[in-house]
Structure formats: C-alpha cells, structure tokens
Chain A
C-alpha cells in the first residue's frame, strides 16, 4: 500500500499494485456539506482518465466525481449508496467510492502528494 495521491478535483487515490481505490477528500466533503445521494458506476465499466464516473449530491447541488486514472471498475462501495452520510463521516476511508484496475501506471505521476494537495486546496478553497 502506497501513500495516498490527490487530484485538483478533490479525489483521493490509494494505489495497491495494479488496483486503485478512489474517493473524495475531506476538504471536498466539508465544502459540499451534507451528502444525501451517491450514484456509482457499473462494475466492469471502463473509464478514461478524468471522465465523470460517479455523482455525489449534497442538499444544495450535484457534483461529478471523476475517474482520476484510466481503467476498469472492479468494485464499488454500495454502503455509501445506502447511507450517503458515511462519505461525510469518514471520507478518506469507509467513504471510498470505487476501485479500478489501473491501465497505465504512468498516469500516477501526474497526481499530487498529500502536501501538494493540502497547499493546493488552501490556495483554491473552492
């Protein structure tokens, strides 16, 4: 298990060999407020990097969650569909969204480290 990576669109990525687990950051959930609906992709669906893969709705608005790496969906977190508040309570662990089989390891290089993301989200709070 490697260190988590982050995107400018507020997704986190945890890489384990060929597999990556993806969710939205704690900063994102704070900005969104109460999450009341989550729509996840279908298993085996293939996404290109930065394609919209899931939807998260707070009371105020709907937002897309992008697939930060190209790959195929191998697992989805049905628990957050049944109880979307898990995403607010534990966004970076129990509130994960989906897992993918990574197609191109090179894409990992474009992701931010935790420090880079923290400073990015401070400069770009919205």
Chain B
C-alpha cells in the first residue's frame, strides 16, 4: 500500500499550533495552514461530539468585518442574497457569495453586530472574498479581514452546559444568534452555531487569549480537541456542504439545494448576481441537483466517483463521501440529473472497476440536535 499523501511546505499556522502538537495531533496542509486532521482517531472524535462535546480550532477561517456610517448594507445583497435591512442585531444567517452567473464563490455565515457585520469565510477563499467584497462595496465601507482573531468551535449536546461555566450567559443564546461576552475581562463574540449538526458555539477571541480558553476547557472540563477529519464526517452526516467540493463557482444555490437560504422576496423579484439564471431554475428546476446518496454495501463513494442510472447512463458525480460513524456506514453527496433526484431513486456508483448499487437519500443522514428556545 502507498501511505504517502501529497504534501507541500505549509506556510501558515494558527495560534494553537503548538498546543495541537503537544496533544499528539496529526497535522496536514489545509488551505495553506498546517491543521490537525486527527488526535486519537476520527471515529472516536466524531462519536465524542455526537455524545458529549468537542473543541475545533477553526482559526484558519476568515473573519471579515464590514462597517458603514449608516449601517446600510443593502448594497451587499447583490453579491450575498439576503435582506440586510431585516437582519436583526446579533442574528446570524447562512448565505453565499455569488458571481455574475449565480455561481457560488464561497459559502459563509454573516452576523449583524454592533459595529456592522461579521462574516465568517472559508480559509481557502478568504483573501479572494475580501477583495471581491471591497471591489463591490467601494470606499464608503470599512472592510477588514481581522487576522488578530482566532475562531474556536465547541460542539455537541454538552457544549452549552460546559461553556456556560466559563462564559456566563452563553447557554441562553438562540441557535443562529450571537452576542458579546466577557471572558477573563476580555471582550469576545460568541454565536450559537456550528457545522456538525449538533448544538454548539463559535467563539471569536483574540489570538493572544485563545490558548488560555482552550486549555481551561481541556484541563478543567476534560473536553477533547477534534480534528478536521471528524469535522468532515460530522458535517457530511448533517448534510452540510463543503466549499471546493460540494460547492463551486459553477454551482448555483438552486443546484446545490440551498434555495432555503435565499429569502422569499429575492426569489420572487431577483436583485442579485445571477438572478435571471437562479429564478429560471427555481421555476423550471435545475438540470442537476445536489442529493444525499447511500451506497448499499460498505465501499465508500468518494469525491469524483461517477454516478449512473439503473440503465447505465451517466447521470452525475459524487462531490463528498466518507464513512459516517453515527450512521455506521458509507455516505456521499453528489450531483445528479434532476429527473433522477427523487428520494429512493436507485443509482449505480462506479467505485474502482465495479458498478455498485446505491440510492438517493433524504438529507441530513443524521438528525440534527440544535437548541430550541
């Protein structure tokens, strides 16, 4: 067997790099950062998040802050299709940056904060996104990609009770809402959100204080760090997209089955990049659409596996695939012809030299467990 993986000299590290190493993490290059892929084992880490709680270092992700003298961000709707005037203070929304053809340049979480907007961007896209947003908004906006901030996620059914011990009041946050909190006399920003299909929080904290917070959670509450390996299997079980795999500049939100993230008024009236294409796809259905796929056997259909109909016509491609520890079997997402996208539709997956049976499955593969208030 060949164990070697493609490696290149990684340039960037998060403030927790030494801490990850001290915990015995296996590090890989991810979006130019040397990041932990696993500590003790992907399955074990995955199950721990579903059962209890785990901490993720997602400091490689971009934290973009946008200010405007009148807090009027409506100009952004053209490239991020949400109603910024209706975004309440401390409310978060999942959305995406669109190119002129309605293709997804990045997916993101935007939160309305006191100073304006906080946007969490994918690591591999953050510099490009930042430039794109600056070019679109022009000089009346103050736009900063803040690299002095780290981002930590704590996810799992016990996340709220654990974090409440260190940051008073966080357990009262509603899902997809945030607020300012004080940790050791320092101002931090916490949102109730995440990307695992579990209840949890994302904490934006200055680089110089992040280690202290994580060490406290690890030492006093015995919370474990979780690598990107388990983050991938958790998000895939939750039916969530990974940019660069399930989403790309040639994929529209309608094809990606993310129509729910565009507000009703915009879906009717347009007024954003690619609106003609997107409105047409809403009305007439897209040619291809993202679906969940469950293989019948144990073989994993990974990214790039071709999808065939039961009469052997090629109808699509797998964009993500792994072993789902909580569903105890292989799971995939991919794009198939709209006519073959119904739940229960039988498919064939070309894995190595075999055509293996599978079927279209309702997403998520694993039921969500978000906080309701």
Contact = CB atoms under 8 A, between A and B. Distances in A.
B197 to A, nearest CB: 17
B37 A10 contact: no
B352 A55 contact: yes
Counting chain A CB atoms within 10 Å of each CB, the highest count among B7, B322, B330 belongs to B322
Contacts of A32: 3
Given A24-B1, A31-B3, A62 B38 contact: no
Given A39-B299, A57-B299, A59-B43, A33 B229 contact: yes
A73 interface: no
Given A57-B300, A62-B300, A34 B1 contact: no
Nearest to A55: B352
A59 B42 contact: yes
A57 B323 contact: yes
Q: How large is the interface on A (under 10, 10 to 19, 20 to 34, 35 or more residues)?
A: 20 to 34
A60 B229 contact: yes
B298 interface: yes
B3 A10 contact: yes
B2 interface: yes
Contacts of B38: 33
Given A55-B352, A60-B42, A36 B3 contact: no
Given A57-B300, A62-B302, A33 B42 contact: yes
A62 B302 CA distance: 9
Nearest to A36: B323
Contacts of B322: 59-60
A24 B1 CA distance: 8
Interface stretch (A63-71, A102-110, A112-120): A63-71
Nearest to A27: B3
B1 A66 contact: yes
Contact of A9 (B2, B42, B302): B2
- A-B CB proximity, top 9 nearest: A36-B323, A63-B1, A59-B42, A34-B43, A37-B298, A126-B4, A31-B3, A59-B323, A126-B3
Given A33-B41, A39-B352, 13 more contacts: A9-B1, A11-B1, A24-B1, A31-B3, A34-B44, A59-B43, A59-B325, A60-B37, A63-B2, A63-B3, A64-B1, A84-B298, A126-B5
12 contacts: A24-B1, A28-B1, A33-B42, A34-B43, A36-B43, A36-B298, A59-B43, A59-B229, A62-B300, A63-B3, A81-B298, A126-B5
